[in-house]
Chains A and B, each alone.
Chain A
């Protein structure tokens, strides 16, 4: 939790956004984040973000589901309570396959969604600062984190030169908060 000062630039087209991000990264300003209304392909590379490892987590959850299902059913039918089903073997692996498959998928899906929420820090009731009300509509927002030494006018002029159609300075919580949050008080603290 930290209240920070941001210079915000809004763009109305992803074609303007890409060169603007290049310029921001070359300028030496600290790029806080980029907000887009829909997934823009290539944006993560342009920002220099690493590829996500979420799918690896999904694989691990899936394997957990597989071994849980096979282990549990084998234990029950060979150790805990072996039942004779028409003389068929107790450890009847082919008959375990449907449930094993279902649990693999279930574990992978549930685990991945929970991990997704955790990594993104999203949850019902969580709130985050919205830099522009139309950043989930048609506006591409670039936020630059300002230090005490940065000249606001200079940054805003720079952002204008990258093709932004709207620029401003905002003091905002950079992380998430839960429930009520008295913005005014927090701003005075900063």
Chain B
């Protein structure tokens, strides 16, 4: 019998009658088959979005930042909104892969590979915005502290914007390493069952010559655990530092201590919504419903309702603090947010983020796939508006009424945003075709404890009394 035992009251994580080999077959199938028509349509649509994005960025770089709608009052517009939005989305991937590993949540194995891919692609998209927002993008490398011929003149290490440079680049690097170290054994699996020469060679390169010796696995487990331990505070630090971009300034509406936890909760909230959007499509297109089960979707919806409620509490706390502080500038900032010309963005944020996730208190709705899919998009629209509200509606009515302004994006700004969608989905489509979208080795690791067919075999044990079971286990050897 297997060495571990899990109660049958827990839902199985792998449905159907799976053996180790069947797991390999199911997950490798999309890689070894010709992609479906749906894949081609999606891929070429993403590529064309990406090309439009490239053109929009080219337009901005060629003519200068003036082609965007931002002005002297509203210096941060769609660009920084999109930056914060994309970084936030990335956070769910690390939460699933790192924090849930530390908490020993077995269900993470079904979704962690795709979620982490999402993290990496989302951070890639996010990074574009501050870089092109600099205007003279060819000087972007000035943010790096390298010995230069200007003194050497160093960047300001006390600036929250520079902290961001370090936070985002570290986050990207560590996520990539964590993700790839998990991919290496799975690439070896594909290499060893490859039928074509090219596939054998390419996956041979990608798998680093992995053969799966006991010692290698031992080190692999140690590495995963420590990387998870490093990623956990890292992911919390990244959105904390992003919130410092605002919180360390003296703009009413930004200068609050609630920002770091509020941003982190919002990031996890929007990230889980994006994981739902992607995985509901992936499980349908690649027929992986037995690995990404309703139980997985329900658990993620629970995280969404929790973090959504935290975000809601944060919104109300902000309003309370504005009133309670007695600072009229703070009060004015919130008054203009709610009642000013941007009232629609505030109420879009409130209804999408605070009201809509409350539907997930109902079990029926948590387990309803089409409803979850729609909600996941609603939540991400809401979280985009949250960033828009924080950024634009804190800036547009500043201290001098003479400089009050209004802002709407121009086509290169919208094109840039659409272009990052193109980048994100192009990467994700390539990932879904050429990479194992579910961690093969990790699913096998939990199969005999949490697989449906193995759990059924535990039925006789369930019927035994605790004393009887303990007695038998003692004399098992």
When C-beta atoms are compared, the residue in chain B nearest to A138 turns out to be: B20
Assess whether B444 is in contact with A37, with CB atoms less than 8 Å apart: yes
- Asked whether B222 lies within 8 Å of A54 as measured between CB atoms, the reply is yes
Tell me the nearest residue of chain A to B208, going by C-beta.
A122
Looking at chain B, what size class is its interface with the partner chain?
A: 35 or more
Which residues of chain B come closer than 8 Å to A58, judged between CB atoms? 226, 230
The answer to whether A37 touches B166 (Cβ under 8 A) is no
Residue of B with least CB distance to A126:
B209
Distance from A23 Cβ to chain B, minimum over Cβ atoms (Å): 14
Is the C-beta of A153 less than 8 angstroms from some C-beta in chain B? no
Among B1, B160, B205: residue with most chain A CB under 10 A? B205
Interface presence of B223 (CB below 8 A): yes
Q: Is the CB of A137 within 8 A of B223?
A: no
What separation, in Å, do the CA atoms of A2 and B304 have in the docked complex? 55
- Structural contact, A112 and B223, CB atoms closer than 8 A: yes
B1 pairs with A128, CB closer than 8 A: no
User: Is A101 on the interface with B (CB-CB < 8 A)?
Assistant: yes
A162 to B270, CA, bound (A): 53
Shortest C-beta distance, A124 to chain B (Å), equals: 5
* A46-66 interface code vs B (CB 8 A; 1 in, 0 out): 010101101100100010000
Query: Interface segment, B110-118, B210-218, B279-287?
Result: B210-218
Q: Please tell me if A184 contacts chain B, counting CB pairs below 8 Å.
A: no
> Residue on A with the closest CB to B190?
A136
B402 close to A (CB within 8 Å): no
| A134 with B170: CB separation less than 8 A | no
Query: Which chain A residue has the least Cβ–Cβ distance from B223?
Result: A116
Closest Cβ–Cβ distance, residue A180 to chain B (whole Å): 11
Bound-state CA distance A83–B155 (Å) is 11
- Chain A 6-30 residues near chain B, CB threshold 8 A: 14-15
Interface flag for A149 (CB, 8 Å) = no
Q: Are B217 and A81 in contact (CB under 8 A)?
A: no
Contacts A37-B189, A133-B192 known; 6 new A-B pairs at CB < 8 A: A39-B220, A51-B218, A80-B152, A103-B166, A124-B205, A126-B209
| Minimum-distance CB pairs A-B, first 5 | A138-B20, A126-B209, A122-B208, A38-B441, A98-B163
- Residues of B at under 8 Å CB distance from A? 1-3, 19-21, 24, 145, 151-154, 156-158, 160, 162-163, 166-167, 170, 173-174, 177-178, 181, 184-185, 188-189, 191-193, 204-206, 208-223, 225-227, 230-231, 233-234, 237, 241, 244, 440-442, 444-445
Task: Identify 8 residue pairs between A and B in the complex whose beta-carbon atoms are under 8 Å apart, listed by A's number.
Answer: A15-B3, A51-B218, A102-B167, A116-B181, A122-B184, A122-B208, A137-B189, A176-B209
